[in-house]
Structure 1
Amino acid sequence: MELTEPQRKEIGQHFVLGFHGTEISEEALSLIRTYYVGNIIIMRRNVSSIDQLQKLILQLQSAAKASGHDQPLMIGIDQENGLVSAFSSTHTKTAGTQFPGAMALAATGSLETAQSITRATAQELAMCGINWAYSPVADVNSNPLNPVIGVRSFGDDPIKVGHFARAVSDALTESGVAPCAKHFPGHGDTSVDSHHGLPVIDKTLVELEANELVPFRTLVDGKEPVASVMTAHIAMPKAFGNDIPASMSSSSNIRLLREKLCYAGIIVTDCLEMGAIVDNYGTPKGALESLIAGTDIAMICHTYSRQVDSITATYEAVLDGRLDFAQLEISGRRIRQFKRRFARNWEAVLSKKELPSQALLEKHARLSKDAYLRAITLLSDPKKTLPLPINSSILLLTPTIQSLNPAVDDQGVLKTKDGVLRNTAGPSYLAMASVASAYCQLNHVVYSKDIIINEESIRDVSAVIFVTRNANQSDWQIKVLQKLIETLPHDTKVVVLASCGPYDLQASNVIRQKVAYLASYEFTKPALEAAVGVIFGDHRAQGTLPVQLSDDNVRSASS
């Protein structure tokens, strides 16, 4: 017995798959033509320019129509802004505008700013043919040691996180781009990265209700529920009674999200090639089990063989009755409604779209710059160190680049094809040094745990700008900073910039008494440039801290 063509068409709609290259590949064509895959995710590797991306998406949609698809493709992208910005320009490509991410936006304190940034983002995405953004992040970052969420979250207050996530969701929807709230039921209180292992959140359902679920409830309630929700590869044994990842759990998908939160929109998994799934189940089983557990769309971003194996495993499960095809058809009706709203029709996706004009991109750049400036937060400055004097001798120390997690890595070509680190400064820190050099006589040094600081090299320095990057998870940075302070002449000014999470000095009270302490919330080029403007007095630090730090002495000094 074999599946009918309509059945294979139906199954194809329940996957969102990625491919490699900046041109349509034979593998991508195979997925669309042979397996009727109805949804494609665009990765950073698929983007080299706005014009190129627009042409690529037009080719994808044309291939779908020519292959007999009933509706256009949903074209999704990880565009949270900030550190997760697959569409944004980098030092190697000119594409979309780099806008602030979640925690930076929350630091502005302005829901209006979050919405205006999101509308601008959606406008650029839509002009390229993207109709689905995997945003907003609705995770409450209650664990400062969280290796994968961190500044991708709007903060640690579940009510405020809900308000900002709702603002982003509404702005995307109004702009014709489908939002996707993630990572349900909440990835904020983990110390394990699900890209590498299976995190366990040891909370009861009552505890989840009080924290993790608050933003998601805000997003699914009301007149305009968020159009889609992405599920996390996290285990919650106390809440669900087993160690099955939420993405593969009917307790999470059906009993909690569908029944308890009354959600009727699209449920999509996070990528099923992450370590939490691959190492414990394998991608094909993960995909199948997620569909059985009530998922509408299974995401597989990278490997063609795993994508095909997952689809064929679904074929087999339908044929032998493990997966009820009637259940898929009910889910399929939700997908068709989703597509009618956001992919619309063939005329809409195949018509020639205008590229963003230079005037529009310049307008968006100004909007972004203003938001970044308003996000910079002065956490403390007990010695009134800021602003630093112009035309003085300044030592800038930035950390050697280390991998944070696969969601935010690849902010530049850091390694050769042989895996050798080739640019230890990182392009954003080099851009920061370039901007800072206009204010002072700058010496830029990339530091590692093995750096040797001698008195001779710093004797004539007026001030030091010491940049950290998640130093609360890499304490060698703090050890280098401590050694530096001990070696410096006592009247040397020291500024510490936390260029990712704002938690870096929360356990270092002695250091905080000696330095000015700033947070930029991300190490993107415009964030670091905004921080330089504050450090040298061109702008006032206006941001407020979106998280509570463990020591009450660390608070927003600019509020």
Structure 2
Amino acid sequence: MPMMKRYKLLLALALSLLVFWPLGGIKADTANQPPESANQSEQISAAVATDSSDSGAGARGTPSQDSQIAAKALTVSDASAVAATETAASSQAANAENSVDNPAKPATAQSAEVSSATNQAQGQAATDAPPASKRVQELVADMTLRQKITQMLMPDFRKWQQEGQASQSDMTELNKEVAEAVDKYDFGGVILFAENVKGTAQTLALTQALQQAAIGNQANNGKLPLLLAIDQEGGIVYRLGSGTALPGNMAVGATRDPELANQAGQIIGRELSALGLNVNFAPVFDTNNNPQNPVIGLRSFSSDPKVVARLGTAMMEGIQKYNVAVAAKHFPGHGDTAVDSHTGLPLVDKSYAELEALELLPFKAAIDKNADMLMTAHIQYPQIEKDTVISKQTGETIYIPATLSDDIITGIVRKKFGYKGVVVSDAMGMDAIAKNFGESEAAIMAIKSGVDVVLMPTVLRSKSDLAKIDKIINDIEQAVQRGDIPVSRLDESVTRILNLKEKRGILDFDLSERTQAKAEATVGSELNRDTEQKIAASAVTVVKNGDTVLPFKVKSGDRILMLAAYDDEVPGLELGVKRLIADGVIPAGVTYEALNYSKTTKLEDLKGKIDQATHLVLISEIGRQSQLASDFWLTRVPTEVVDYANATGKQAAIMSISKPYDVANYPNAKAIVAVYGNKGMDPTESLKPDSAFGPNIPAGVEVIFNGQNHVGKLPVNVPSIKDGIMSETEVAYPIGHGLFYTDPVKDIKVNVPASAQLDQPFTATVTLSGLNGLEKNDYRLALKMDTQHFSIMPSPDYTISGDTVLISKKANDTNPVEISLKGLVEGQFSPVLSLTLIDSQDREFSMGEGYYKELIQITAARQSMVPGQQNPPQLSLRSVEPVSSRQQLSQQATQASQLPKTGDSSSLFLVLLGALFLFGAVYLYDLSSRRL
């Protein structure tokens, strides 16, 4: 080949490399980047495992990431699963298009649904057959059909009439007839009520006897221990006669403190476990967003579903800590009803989207936190369950309530939420079910809907009543035999029940584990009562404090009059004052009296006692809207007493002890507090009663007289009230409202300069504002100073007492006060450690130590310069991180010592470019030589 042609070919080759190398360089550059993970396949496997085992995985990573990883995990060997996935996804997409409550979803939501469809396609049995241990599988396999049915039934024996007895009596010990019934029927569990659990030793003996009757005396006889359940919510729904009642959920909601909720749960779990009770039908996860709700009210944490979720799960975990199973109730939500399902059939006309945004949110949180059980609600949801039946009582058409609805129990609980735990019905004897359905009919419908445990399917009060339970069992058995209920449906429920019994150690029940001594030391212990008192006091909410009436400051010779709505509330008022006297908050020379008013009480009957009193505490207890009417005695008496107290110059405070909506019904009251609990107590001389009692009323008294700290905020919106009717649009006091006794001093400021020289005077200025009327009379300020780092200079504007500066102010004087100080030590310190305002009644208002810490930098005095010497340059002080700097220098040195990477595209490009220029120069030289 001629030389010229070869040059041209080489030149073309070089130009080609020059043009196309950047493309190859990009690929090379990417190849040289470090991988995202040392082992990407391990990451994918872990993500898939997390997605399949944790229904709340979306909270840990974005749905799109999870679905992408799941997609990467599919291999060629998954072809059949992929095909099934596409079929399921197509079906799901079609359903989504036809649903009015399922608008178009973003790509991430679609990916999540496809992932869900994958799970369904690859293992449909995940819903139909819950996973179980070999032990549980063998137990289920060995059961007869009748045993499976009775495992799904949980009756009560709260009262019993034995043969030969004239009437029913509370069943506090296991009699022969009930023992024989428990042995014969193999019930999955029994629920106990207050009639059954009156004392610690008695309750333990009863639970032990029930378990003994259930399991028999022979080992390996196939008989199973019982789920022994109770409704121990705390507050107004409370069963243990000797235990710790607790202030209730709405009181806990007022604290907004998950730690206090958890402590309440631990008290419940600890006491139930010590007594042999292994299931608690609590906490309530209903969001009480309807002020006229007649059945939930104080049993709810809040009208904010997020607060309900946060506090409900905290309490749930506290209960579970002691191996007691919990049931989140009442699914899908009983908070927005105006009808009590104990006496009627409520209806909630909401779409799924509306329920999801409010009612369902707390239940989803409970499921994500591993709630053992969900309890259903006997409520109609016509936009969810559209099927209807004819009421057996009225003959009217009604919607199938949630408890009996497969669209709700199977559709939402099992398929939508993926819940694997036990679903228990609310009591089937409640009017919502009992008056509209037959007993057997309701039990069969509940089982078909997906319910695992049918609670109280009939009323059992004597041996003759057992014929009713026989009929229910026989009717369910016949439904199975004719194919209305598949045997597999029973197997699912029994497996879940036994899973729960295994998880909570019930299958391995040992009678010797619980002793009377341990129970006596645990139930109603001093530790539990102290925690109960702390929670109750923290919950108290100061709703109104006109003229800064609260806290009451009493002195020797004063007289306190307290009026309650019912006689069982009187001891609680008295207990609060006794504690205050014992703590020295109220002087021993103060006299007090507590009594109850009634519907026959007139103001004239009380004037003589009011005239003698210096301070009044009035209980307001409203249970329903009709009681808000001005002429209803529960509203009339407090209103008349407040008006008379205002007219005669008495200090009066109203204490709302039930649902707090009544606080808007007393516009003339200067002071109103809410305590969220109306449980009374028996008369007692002890500061810590032996039996259970309501802690809310004593806590309210203690807060009114400044004997306890409170942090309470309203957990619900309180609507305005006009003519006894609550407004549906106007809010008088919003959720989160609450005043503090420290409010009069929270706006007082102490200002100091940024810096001062050592041993040189500077000024701390105290500015006064927002004193809530306390400045109308003479008042004082007490500032605790840091005398370790500062000295206080004398001044006629204040006096010095040890480490405290005392400032006396005349009425209406809010002028600033200057305090002269000197720094004693170099460094940054706060001159004022705490500030207290003392009013004309000697009441102290303080934010506590550390609240007024405004820092000042104390520096050394400047030294004189030597004559003729130039001032040294000013250095800028910077935050230095020696370790980080050394690391950076080390990295730089390492990088400098490394040779360029041979695979780097830009380096190779420069080399090639240089070679091309060299080639060109050689070529031109050759050409010119030829011409010469």
Fold conserved (TM > 0.5)?
A: yes
Name the SS for the 2:451 alignment partner. coil
AA at the equivalent of 2:450: G
TM-score by length of 1: 0.88
How far is 1:200 from its partner?
0.8
Aligned counterpart, 1:480:
637
Cα 1:532–1:132 change in 2 (3 A) is same
The residue aligned with 2:23 is: none
Structure 2 partner of 1:322 = 484
Q: Which of residues 353, 359, 370 is equivalent to 2:534?
A: 370
Alignment-derived partner of residue 520 in structure 1: 675
Partner of 2:662: 504
Equivalent position of 1:253 in the other structure: 409
| 1:269-310 Cα shifts (integer Å, max 9, x gaps) | 111111111111143322221112110001018721354443
Question: What are the equivalent positions in structure 2 for 1:120-139 lying under 5 Å apart?
Answer: 120-139=267-286
Q: Is the 8 A contact 1:22 1:45 kept in 2?
A: yes
Task: Say whether the 8 Å CA contact 1:73–1:343 is kept in structure 2.
Answer: no
Q: Which residue of 1 aligns with 2:155?
A: 17
8 Å Cα contact 1:157/1:547 also seen in 2 = yes
Deviation at 1:196, TM superposition (A): 0.6
Kept after mapping to 2: 8 A contact 1:185/1:212: yes
Deviation track 1:349-368 (CA, whole Å, cap 9, x = no partner) reads 55443523548811111111
Which of 32, 36, 39 is the matching residue for 2:189?
A: 39
2: distance between equivalents of 1:81 and 1:238?
33
1:244 aligns with 2:397: no
- Distance in 2, matches of 1:234 and 1:155, equals 20
Q: Give the Cα separation in 2 of the matches to 1:472 and 1:500.
A: 10
Q: 1:251 to 1:107 in 2, by over 3 A?
A: same
Question: What residue is the counterpart of 1:60 in the other structure?
Answer: 210
| Alignment-derived partner of residue 917 in structure 2 | none
Distance 1:384 1:130 in 2: 48
Contact preservation (8 Å) 1:469, 1:499:
yes
Name the aligned partner's letter for residue 563 of structure 2.
Answer: L
Q: Which of 435, 456, 459 is equivalent to 1:279?
A: 435
Quick one: structure 1 residues 81 and 471, their matched pair in 2 at CA, closer, same or farther if it must change by over 3 Å? closer
Alignment of 1:157-176 (within 5 A): 157-176=304-323
RMSD value over aligned CA atoms? 2.3
Cα distance in 2 for residues equivalent to 1:226 and 1:311: 29
Secondary structure of the equivalent of 1:80? coil
Deviation, structure 1 residue 490: 4.1
Aligned partner of residue 547 in structure 2, secondary structure = coil
Cα deviation for residue 434 of structure 1 reads 4.6
5 Å matches for 1:347-366? 347-349=509-511, 351-353=513-515, 355-356=518-519, 358=521, 361-366=525-530
Match of 2:232 among 79, 92, 98: 79
Cα distance in 1 for partners of 2:527, 2:305 equals 32
The 3-state SS of whatever aligns with 2:702 is helix
Q: Give the Cα separation in 2 of the matches to 1:86 and 1:379.
A: 31
Partner amino acid for 2:669? K
Cα contact 1:137–1:153 (8 A) shared by 2 = yes
Equivalent position amino acid for 1:557 in 2: L
2:105 corresponding residue in structure 1: none
* Structure 2 residue 351 is the aligned partner of structure 1 residue 201: no
Matched residues in 1 for 2:177 and 2:330: separation? 29
Q: Displacement, 1:443?
A: 3.6
Go from structure 1 to structure 2 and tell me whether the alpha carbon gap of 1:120 and 1:458 turns closer, same or farther (over 3 Å shift).
Answer: closer
Partner residue, 2:620: 468
SS of equivalent residue, structure 2 residue 437: coil
- 1:556 counterpart residue number: 738
The answer as to whether partners of 1:118 and 1:172 remain within 8 angstroms in 2 is yes
Which whole-Å deviations, capped at 9, do the CAs of 1:242-279 have from their partners, x for residues lacking one?
41111111111011111111111100011111111111
Aligned-partner Cα distance in 2 for 1:321–1:26:
37
Which letter does structure 1 place at the counterpart of 2:613? Answer: V
Q: How does 1:273-352 map to 2 (within 5 A)?
A: 273-300=429-456, 303-304=459-460, 305=465, 306-349=468-511, 351-352=513-514
2 CA distance for matches of 1:294 and 1:350?
36
Gap regions ≥5 residues in structure 2: 1-141, 160-170, 388-398, 680-693, 721-730, 744-932
- How far apart in 2 are the matches of 1:186 and 1:25? 38
The 8 Å contact of residues 77 and 130 in structure 1, kept in 2 or not, is answered as yes
**What SS is found at the alignment partner of 2:144?**
helix
The amino acid of 2:561's aligned partner reads L
2:423 equivalent in structure 1:
267
Task: Please say if 1:395 is aligned against 2:561.
Answer: yes
Q: Distance in 2 between matches of 1:232 and 1:191?
A: 14
Equivalent residues of 1:11, 1:311 under 8 A apart: yes
Does structure 1 residue 430 correspond to structure 2 residue 571?
yes
Which residue of the other structure, out of 250, 259, 272, is the alignment partner of 1:103? 250
The AA in structure 1 aligned to 2:699 is A
Is the Cα–Cα contact under 8 Å of residues 228 and 268 in structure 1 kept in the other structure? yes
Q: Deviations over 1:362-420 (max 9, x none)?
A: 111111111111111111112322222435333322114xxxxxxxxxxxxxxxxxxxx
1:386 to 550, 555, 572: 550
Q: Distance in 1 between matches of 2:176 and 2:406?
A: 35
Q: 1 CA distance for matches of 2:353 and 2:512?
A: 48
Using the alignment, how far apart are the partners of 2:469 and 2:518 within structure 1? 32
**Residue pair 1:31, 1:37 contacting (<8 A) in 2 also:** no
Once residues 292 and 232 of structure 1 are traced to their aligned partners in structure 2, the CA distance between those partners, rounded to angstroms, is 16
After TM superposition, the structure 1 stretch with the greater mean CA deviation from structure 2, 189-198 or 276-285, is 276-285
- Give the Å deviation of 1:205: 1.2
The structure whose RCO (Cα within 8 Å, separation 6+) is larger is 1
Q: Which amino acid aligns with 2:618?
A: F
Kept after mapping to 2: 8 A contact 1:17/1:307: no
Q: Deviations over 1:52-71 (max 9, x none)?
A: 11111111111111184533
The one of 372, 392, 414 equivalent to 1:227 is: 372
Partner of 2:118: none
1:422 is matched with none
Question: Aligned equivalents of 1:550 and 1:32: distance in 2?
Answer: 50
- Where 1:238 maps in the other structure, the secondary structure is coil
What is the CA-CA distance between 1:521 and the residue it aligns to?
Answer: 0.7
TM-score, normalised to structure 2, is: 0.53
How far apart in 2 are the matches of 1:46 and 1:301? 19
- Post-superposition offset of 1:553: 4.9
For residue 514 of structure 1, what is the amino acid of its counterpart? Answer: A
Q: Percent identity?
A: 29
The 1:464/1:103 distance shift into structure 2, 3 A limit, reads same
Are 2:180 and 2:213, in contact at CA under 8 Å, matched by a contact in 1? no
Distance in 1 of aligned mates of 2:598 and 2:638: 11
Of 198-207 and 65-74, the range deviating more from structure 2: 65-74
Q: Distance in 2 between matches of 1:106 and 1:226?
A: 20
Number of residue pairs matched by the alignment: 520
Equivalent residue number for residue 448 of structure 1 = 598
> Taking structure 1 as reference, are residues 215 and 349 closer, same or farther at Cα in structure 2, changes over 3 Å only?
farther
Q: Determine if contact 2:384/2:408 at 8 Å carries over to the other structure.
A: no
- Deviations along 1:207-266, one digit per CA (max 9) or x if unpaired, are 101100000111112xx4211000011111122224111111111101111111111110
2:241 matches 1:115: no
> Secondary structure in 2 aligned to 1:355?
helix
Check 1:234–1:31 CA distance in 2 against 1; reply closer, same or farther (3 A cut): farther
Q: Against the structure 1 CA distance between its residues 463 and 54, is the aligned structure 2 distance closer, same or farther, given a 3 Å change threshold?
A: same
